[in-house]
Structure 1
Amino acid sequence: MTHSEVFEQSQWPTNPLAAAREAFGWLVTGPHPVTVNGRLFECLPDREVGLVELRDVLLGEDCPQRSRDEVWRYVIERARAERGTWMLVAVGLALPMLTPIAGWLTRTDDSDDPHDLCAEALRGLLDEVHTVDLDEPGIAARLRWSAYRAGHHALSRTLLSATPTTPGFFSDEPARPSGHPDLVLIRAVRSGVVTETEAALISFTRLDKKPLAQWPRPDGMGYEGLRNARREAEARLAAWLLDEDDGSEHTPAERDAPGTARGSTQMPGTHQGHGK
């Protein structure tokens, strides 16, 4: 048995995110670690920058959103063109987003093997790497949102397919995966309370604490119009959460009434691509 075969059988992690972290480690160590040319980016020093340093810069609060998007655009363009190493670079840079997502999902799941949920979150991120609009701001936020959505869908399927283990006894309806604000937003989208675009906007500006001005607006729509649209979406969300606390639910007719998420096509001045 070769050394590589022993390594694969005895040391390679079974959790997809742990495996991605292990593989990312290969890119940042050794005699020829992967680097980016910092001279290409406003937020980086004028030299070759290693991936760990790059990741730390992207996580820093003093890194402007414009600079984050420039780096992510560069990485994703190379990942799409070259795949392989640069696709792994994208995943490695996104691990600080994926890890807490996996934590919330697996904490809600009672199964002994949470790896499927981690794999689905990772798949959601990779799908977005292939499709995200690189000309729009908030690239990282949309990557994270897609990972949450994919993982949450997998979790919902797991909970709904749960079967009783003792004949003649049936468990109560599984508790909803709540707690983390992004998971609450996902449930609100699935319930028709807000659109995916509205949820992404709320996540981008409230949870990621990015300025509302950084969310793109088409010609003719002012800042106040976008702020009012967000306020209306948040009012619907707050009312829905209060209804949930009271144990009541809106009927389909109420959800489809004018002014609700399903009664309108999308947030004025935005497009559905942001909700991916």
Structure 2
Amino acid sequence: MPDDVGVFASTGGDPHGRVWPLTTVRDCFALLVAGPEPLAVDGSPFLGLPDRLVPLDELRDRLMASRCPQSTRDTAWALVIRRSREHGSAWTVGCAGMALPALASVAGRLSRYSAADPFDVHAEVLAGFLAAVTTARLDLPRIMVRLRWAAYRAGLAVVTQAREGPRPDSDLFDARGHVGESGTGHPDLVLVRAVADGVLTPAEVDLIGATRLDRVTVAAWAADRGTSARAAYVLRSRAEARLVAHLTGLDASLVSSRPAKAQPIASPANNATGPPARPHLVSPSASAPGTVSHPAAPRDALSPVTTLLGGPRPWV
């Protein structure tokens, strides 16, 4: 397993001499899985795991393997989380250590172009994850994905707060890039800025990020939040329409969540919980007579939209 937090291993690079939160997790986790009696779980009940005690660092690697069944991931995570809730201490550190690659990735992306102190972002990402460990429903699928998005939301709050605060040097800030002006950026960064710009709510970012960038179904996302799949589809469709309009500079009236006439659609009776069509840009050439034609959005402005609304996922 690569050292995803190696950049924070030394306090020498921090001007305040601070020990980074994820570095502390990494070091404590390493102690827990070292020696003749590492923190481990019995792998015999789990499909695809060896019939022996499996140290948590090995368990993490096995669960992250693409060939690992999702049912095994969820069952193993549920076991470790229950032990954290019952015993705390070492098992809570064990949970954080198993999630460390995901937490480091989330914290790194959120802090990369943020005005917030990266130390604060990393601390909030970890705090958000640990809070979710105590409350996440273990009877629903994709436990780790939901924990990661809880960590993401916590870090996003810090990033958004910093972006909305005073800007002592506007030229320097603008040089770091603004979605409303350039329209380009990493999908995560697009979502962060959309919240800061008042285009999306944190709940909408959570929905779009989880269902577009991760392998979370809309039905699973909705069930975890006590709403219907249909309501979640409608929420996502409307949010994505606003996001497309914001990124391209087009009027919101030119971004439709309704399917084009030439596209066949399923009967509502047979697809009551299915998704509405993805938001699409209304072609100027298809405008009705008498309407004002607008220039097409530049290709680079649509690149983050393509990724967010169904393009290749930059990570899993």
- Residue 160 of structure 1 corresponds to 164
Cα pair distance change 1:203/1:107, threshold 3 Å: closer
1:195 and 1:100 map into 2 onto residues whose CA distance is 19
The reply on whether 1:208 has 2:210 as its aligned counterpart is no
Of 231, 238, 241, the residue aligned with 1:239 is: 241
Where in structure 2 are the equivalents of 1:244-263 lying within 5 Å? 244-247=246-249
Code of the aligned partner of 1:129? V
Cα deviations by residue, 1:10-43 (Å, 9 ceiling, x for unpaired): 9x97111111111111112123211110012223
Cα deviations by residue, 1:121-172 (Å, 9 ceiling, x for unpaired): 100101101111111112111111111111111112223334527xxx8876
Code of the aligned partner of 1:106? S
- Residue 267 of structure 2 corresponds to none
Secondary structure of 2:237's match? helix
- Residue 108 of structure 1 corresponds to 113
The reply on whether 1:120 has 2:124 as its aligned counterpart is yes
Of 142, 149, 152, the residue aligned with 2:146 is: 142
The reply on whether 1:69 has 2:74 as its aligned counterpart is yes
Task: Give, in angstroms, the shift of residue 199 of structure 1.
Answer: 5.1
Code of the aligned partner of 2:244? L
Where in structure 2 are the equivalents of 1:217-228 lying within 5 Å? 226=229
- Residue 48 of structure 2 corresponds to 43
Computed over aligned residues only, the root mean square deviation of the Cα atoms, in angstroms, reads: 3.8
Larger Rg: 2
Question: Of Structure 1 and Structure 2, which has the larger fraction of its residues in helix?
Answer: 1
- Residue 7 of structure 2 corresponds to none
Aligned residue-pair number: 234
Secondary structure of 2:41's match? strand
Code of the aligned partner of 1:68? R
Cα pair distance change 1:62/1:13, threshold 3 Å: farther
1:144 and 1:52 map into 2 onto residues whose CA distance is 18
The reply on whether 1:28 has 2:33 as its aligned counterpart is yes
Q: Which runs of 5+ in 1 are unaligned?
A: 1-8, 251-258, 260-267, 270-276
Whether the 8 Å contact between 1:204 and 1:210 is mirrored in structure 2 is yes
Cα deviations by residue, 1:88-133 (Å, 9 ceiling, x for unpaired): 000001111111111112211346x521110011001011011111
Cα pair distance change 1:110/1:89, threshold 3 Å: same
1:217 and 1:27 map into 2 onto residues whose CA distance is 35
1:216 and 1:243 map into 2 onto residues whose CA distance is 25
Cα pair distance change 1:128/1:217, threshold 3 Å: closer
**TM-score for both structures, normalised by structure 2:** 0.61
- Residue 3 of structure 1 corresponds to none
Whether the 8 Å contact between 1:164 and 1:170 is mirrored in structure 2 is no
**TM-score for both structures, normalised by structure 1:** 0.69
Identity rate, percent: 39
Q: Which runs of 5+ in 2 are unaligned?
A: 1-10, 253-257, 259-272, 275-316
